[in-house]
Amino acid sequence: MREAITVIGASLAGLRGVETLRSDGFDGRITLVGEESHQPYDRPPLSKQVLAGDWEPDRIHLAAPDRLADLQVDLRLGQRATGLDLEAHTVEVDGVAERFDGLLIATGAQCRALPGTGHLAGVHTLRTLDDCLAIRAALEGVPRRLLVVGAGFIGSEVASVAVDRGVEVTMVEALPVPLVRVLGAEIGTTMADLHRSHGVDLRCGVGVVELVGEDRVRAAMLDDGSVVEADVVVVGIGVVPNTDWLESSGLDLDDGVCCDATCLAAPDVTAAGDVARWDHPRYGRSVRVEHWDNAVEQGIHAARRLLQTDEEATAYAPVPWFWSDQYDRKIQVAGLTHPDDEVRMVTGSPEEGRFTALYGSGGRFNAVFGMNRPRQVMQFKSLIDQEATWEEALAYARELG
């Protein structure tokens, strides 16, 4: 019988995990450790409503204070886990070893930095509330020329908010087409057009050689020889999972904490959210997913796993899904695209600003992309879940008309 469960990472996956432990009837001790000093908060608004100044930070709590009290959790904010001893079943928090019967690892990810830019003021990444407020303040200053490095989803959302606030935006992307590896050239081009039609100076296929300035950033030198002047730089070139504290734990680490299909990383230890890599039965390989909905679902699954026996445990096999808000468009993707995929536009068109596109290869239906098409994305997501074939997906699309 477990008496004490510790959750490391007091954000989305960790908190949903704690809620699940309680709703599943666990009445032992729960400790939730989080490095950030803020009450657990939601990240998507950091590149949307909060960055835009439409919402203040008090609107993004993940749980109301009375809800946290109800959960009877020993919430330890501003504390960092620094080590794990699997044998002894202890986790080191701020230098003190504490025993656990079950451990949920939910330490998320952090932004990759642009090498050699640490000394310059005005250069930001966006992961935390503090990052968000710093960028928000910077965009209020004058003159305001923003350079976004990387045309991924976060960079694109930042560009979109900044344009809305009247900031002059340049976006530099090393790939020839934004998001080409995830979305393919056709849909990636649609995303590029969206930025350009809103006045963003988007430059693809070029890299940043160096950011220059004395104390503050002043400009960026690009590898095509051009120079972009900027007062503020936001770097959005991906994230790395927070596994540094587990380096000597003996856990299998490979771009994330490696787990089996049930989210178990070692006996009595599970992982969830951005930090977790697990064997996904649907894909026959391990995946790590950096989406909000996955942090929720996996947080629930991995917490429950700690209360289950090996016989009771079930595989975690979701269809990945995420959304991104850019300008007046809601972008949603469900499933995982494959490099060999054919892309078929099935309803609407980019010109209308509203369409659905399907991805499939080898007779398999792999993914759906929607722009302002939430209902259809969810309908096709269900088909992916049922492992519909490419032909079945296209037939369903014809029915929708």
Partner 1 sequence: MRVVVDFDLCESNAICMQVAPEIFEVRDDDFLYVLNEQPGEDRRSAVEEAVQRCPKQAISIQD
Ligand X SMILES: Cc1cc2nc3c(=O)[nH]c(=O)nc-3n(C[C@H](O)[C@H](O)[C@H](O)COP(=O)(O)OP(=O)(O)OC[C@H]3O[C@@H](n4cnc5c(N)ncnc54)[C@H](O)[C@@H]3O)c2cc1C
Name the site residues for ligand X (rule: CB under 6 A): 8-14, 33-36, 43-44, 46-47, 80-81, 106-109, 126-127, 154, 242, 245, 273-275, 290-293, 295, 322-324
| Stretch 275-294 residues interacting with partner 1 (CB under 8 A) | 292-293
| Residue 109 partner contact from partner 1, ligand X, none using kind-dependent CB cut-offs of 5 to 8 Å | ligand X
Kindly state whether residue 300 participates in binding partner 1, applying the rule CB under 8 A: yes
State the minimum distance, in angstroms, from the CB of residue 12 to ligand X: 4
Kindly state whether residue 274 participates in binding partner 1, applying the rule CB under 8 A: no
Residue of the chain from 151, 296, 303, 358 that contacts partner 1 (CB under 8 A): 296
Of 57, 105, 102, the C-alpha closest to 81 is 105
State the minimum distance, in angstroms, from the CB of residue 300 to ligand X: 12
Kindly state whether residue 2 participates in binding partner 1, applying the rule CB under 8 A: no
Type of residue found at 116: G
State the minimum distance, in angstroms, from the CB of residue 378 to partner 1: 4
* Contact indicator for 46, 131 with CB cutoff of 8 Å: yes
State the minimum distance, in angstroms, from the CB of residue 55 to partner 1: 11
Whole-angstrom Cα distance, residue 62 to residue 330?
22
Of 85, 89, 84, 88, the C-alpha closest to 102 is 89
Element (H, E) at 115: none
| Residue 374 partner contact from partner 1, ligand X, none using kind-dependent CB cut-offs of 5 to 8 Å | partner 1
Residue of the chain from 67, 99, 216, 375 that contacts partner 1 (CB under 8 A): 375
Binding piece for partner 1, criterion CB under 8 A, among 16-24, 85-93, 132-140, 182-190:
16-24
Rg (CA), the chain: 22
Kindly state whether residue 308 participates in binding partner 1, applying the rule CB under 8 A: no
| Stretch 311-370 residues interacting with partner 1 (CB under 8 A) | 321, 323, 325, 330, 332
Of 261, 258, 376, 384, the C-alpha closest to 320 is 384
- Give the residue with the Cβ less far from ligand X, 125 or 189: 125
State the minimum distance, in angstroms, from the CB of residue 374 to partner 1: 5
| Residue 17 partner contact from ligand X, partner 1, none using kind-dependent CB cut-offs of 5 to 8 Å | none
State the minimum distance, in angstroms, from the CB of residue 84 to partner 1: 28
State the minimum distance, in angstroms, from the CB of residue 145 to partner 1: 31
Whole-angstrom Cα distance, residue 56 to residue 70?
25
| Residue 148 partner contact from partner 1, ligand X, none using kind-dependent CB cut-offs of 5 to 8 Å | none
* Contact indicator for 48, 4 with CB cutoff of 8 Å: no
- Give the residue with the Cβ less far from partner 1, 210 or 352: 352
Supply the angle between the helices 12-23 and 292-307 in degrees, to the nearest 10.
Answer: 40
Question: Who contacts 322 (Cβ-Cβ below 8 Å, separation ≥6)?
Answer: 153, 291, 292, 293, 332, 333
State the minimum distance, in angstroms, from the CB of residue 156 to partner 1: 17
Residue of the chain from 239, 372, 389, 394 that contacts partner 1 (CB under 8 A): 372
Q: What DSSP letter does each residue of 345-380 carry, written as one string?
A: EEEEEGGGTEEEEEEEETTEEEEEEEES-HHHHHHH
Greatest Cα pair distance in the chain:
65
* Contact indicator for 126, 45 with CB cutoff of 8 Å: no
- Record the tokens describing residue 173, joined without a space: 């992307």
- Give the residue with the Cβ less far from partner 1, 98 or 293: 293
Cis before 44? omega within 30: no
| Residue 372 partner contact from partner 1, ligand X, none using kind-dependent CB cut-offs of 5 to 8 Å | partner 1
| Residue 377 partner contact from ligand X, partner 1, none using kind-dependent CB cut-offs of 5 to 8 Å | partner 1
Whole-angstrom Cα distance, residue 274 to residue 290?
5
Q: What DSSP letter does each residue of 249-260 carry, written as one string?
A: S---BSSSEEE-
| Stretch 24-43 residues interacting with partner 1 (CB under 8 A) | 42
Question: Who contacts 225 (Cβ-Cβ below 8 Å, separation ≥6)?
Answer: none
State the minimum distance, in angstroms, from the CB of residue 372 to partner 1: 7
Kindly state whether residue 55 participates in binding partner 1, applying the rule CB under 8 A: no
Q: How many CA atoms lie within 13 A of 211 on its CB side?
A: 28
Binding site for partner 1 (CB under 8 A): 16, 19, 23, 42, 44, 292-293, 296-297, 300, 321, 323, 325, 330, 332, 372-375, 377-378, 381-382
